[in-house]
Amino acid sequence: MTKALEGVKILDFTHVQSGPTCTQLLAWFGADVIKVERPGVGDITRGQLQDIPKVDSLYFTMLNHNKRSITLDTKNPKGKEVLERLIKECDVLVENFGPGVLDRMGFPWERIKTLNPRMIVASIKGFGPGPYEDCKVYENVAQCTGGAASTTGFRDGLPLVTGAQIGDSGTGLHLALGIVTALYQRTVTGEGQRVTCAMQDGVLNLCRVKLRDQQRLQHGPLKEYSQFGEGVPFGDSVPRAGNDSGGGQPGRIVKCKGWETDPNAYLYFITQAPVWEAICDIIGEPDWKTNPDYATPPVRLPRLNEIFGRIEQWTMTKTKFEAMQILNERDIPCGPILSMKEIAEDESLKATGTLVEVDHPTRGKYLSVGNPIKLSASPTVVERSPLLGEHTQEILSSVLKYSESELSEIAASGAIGAPRMAAAE
């Protein structure tokens, strides 16, 4: 066995971002991911945010590596027959259709279970059972309803959504864990099961520390929030905290040399208690090591604005990389704000396979994020995404074992359409 999930066949009904993130990970771990797409149309992202006309978008290619594509009209009677065969053949069905779509297609869970009792059916929906279960959901809806937006941004500004796709990619990650867990349980029970992840739940899981703070509020102000030091009273729900650290070690973003012209000349600075003395030495405030107004974490809490102001005076004399070097020599945790350009050019990320260059027949070379999860006995080789319907014939004949005459019948029914090199314009 060279790959952890070798031999696992995934019937991939996912589209856009959340589901494809999940199945891409499974493919990277060695599963055979068969992506089912509508003939002539495919995953809508093939044609979205296109940078090169008629070429599959980066949106699509970066989320669908290592998969095979079959086009199948699942509303066509012959297409339904093929889908039945796929269900019998595969181990896992993954989907992130709108609510009720799979049922309307004629494949509710009960039927799938009858067709293949070992099948794991994994679904992403926007919401779990309850008042919103029938709603369609995209990334930012999940960020807003999962608690991220109300707690992101500055106190006196609008709620903010984050650049990290915690609703889509975050929920895809959750689902992937659910699937491998169900596969593991199947090795004992021999039976499949349903795995469901709601995007709202996934975001809330990632906002766990904010629900922590909501409950802490009942027992007094949140002293590590800047507004405590500023004397601004707290309301009855967790406020937006700007760049205040969400953990027990106060932290802020501070300016570095060049900030006037470079939007990313900043550094995240954490005043971890065990290295307080080193911080005082570096910023030129040795007196703060013993001064009772600064020497311990609790007395520093009302003075965080003053303390970070002084730290910033020091960081503004250094570039973010110079500051990082000096601080790390004394074990002071900090993080330069890296632009996407800086990340794209980072040789160490390329060396580990976290950034990979991929070649695509119609696009040429492009940069992608590889597998961030490294398994020593199951290394990931990132392969380009499939063209629409590129593997239809191959899957019908070698996976589903249709005969030549059956293949002609399927083609004549219009259930599979024709393979296409170009994405929709």
Q: Which residues bind ligand CAO (CB under 6 A)?
A: 16-19, 36, 38, 72-75, 96-98, 101, 104-105, 124-126, 136-139, 168
DSSP of 63-101: T-TTEEEEE--TTSHHHHHHHHHHHHH-SEEEE-PSTTH
DSSP of 209-274: HHHHHHHHGGGS--TTSHHHHTTPPP-SSPPP-TT--SSSS-EEEEE-TTTTT-TT-EEEEE--GG
By C-beta, is 8 or 63 nearer to ligand CAO? 63
Tabulate helix, strand, coil % of the chain (nearest 5): 40, 15, 45
Q: Is 208 annotated as a binding residue?
A: no
Tokens 């959504």 found at: 161
Q: Is 209 annotated as a binding residue?
A: no
By C-beta, is 198 or 334 nearer to ligand CAO? 198
Q: Identify the three-state secondary structure at position 164.
A: coil
Q: Is 68 annotated as a binding residue?
A: no
What's the CA gap between 53 and 64, in Å, rounded? 19
Mind telling me the catalytic residues?
Answer: 168
Q: Is 247 annotated as a binding residue?
A: yes
By C-beta, is 19 or 239 nearer to ligand CAO? 19
Using Cβ positions, the residue closest to ligand CAO within the complex turns out to be 98
What's the CA gap between 172 and 202, in Å, rounded? 9
Q: Which long-range contacts (CB under 8 A, 24 or more apart) does 133-136 make?
A: 133/99, 134/99, 134/100, 135/99, 136/98, 136/99
By C-beta, is 107 or 402 nearer to ligand CAO? 107
HSE at residue 393, side-chain half, CA atoms within 13 A, is 8
Least CB distance from residue 142 to ligand CAO, whole Å? 8
Least CB distance from residue 122 to ligand CAO, whole Å? 12
Least CB distance from residue 100 to ligand CAO, whole Å? 7
Least CB distance from residue 167 to ligand CAO, whole Å? 7
Q: Is 64 annotated as a binding residue?
A: no
Handedness of CA 259, 265, 271, 277 (dihedral sign): negative
Contact 423, 46 (CB under 8 A): yes
Least CB distance from residue 306 to ligand CAO, whole Å? 43
Q: Is 222 annotated as a binding residue?
A: no
Least CB distance from residue 343 to ligand CAO, whole Å? 23
DSSP E strands in 315-382: the ranges are 334-336, 355-360, 364-369
Q: Is 248 annotated as a binding residue?
A: yes
By C-beta, is 70 or 279 nearer to ligand CAO? 70
Contact 335, 267 (CB under 8 A): yes
357-381 b/e with 16+ CB inside 10 Å = b? ebebeebeebebbbbeeeeeebebe
Q: Is 18 annotated as a binding residue?
A: yes
Which residues participate in the annotated binding site for substrate? 247-249
Which residues participate in the annotated binding site for CoA? 17-18, 38, 72-75, 96-98, 104, 136-139
Which residues participate in the annotated binding site? 17-18, 38, 72-75, 96-98, 104, 136-139, 247-249
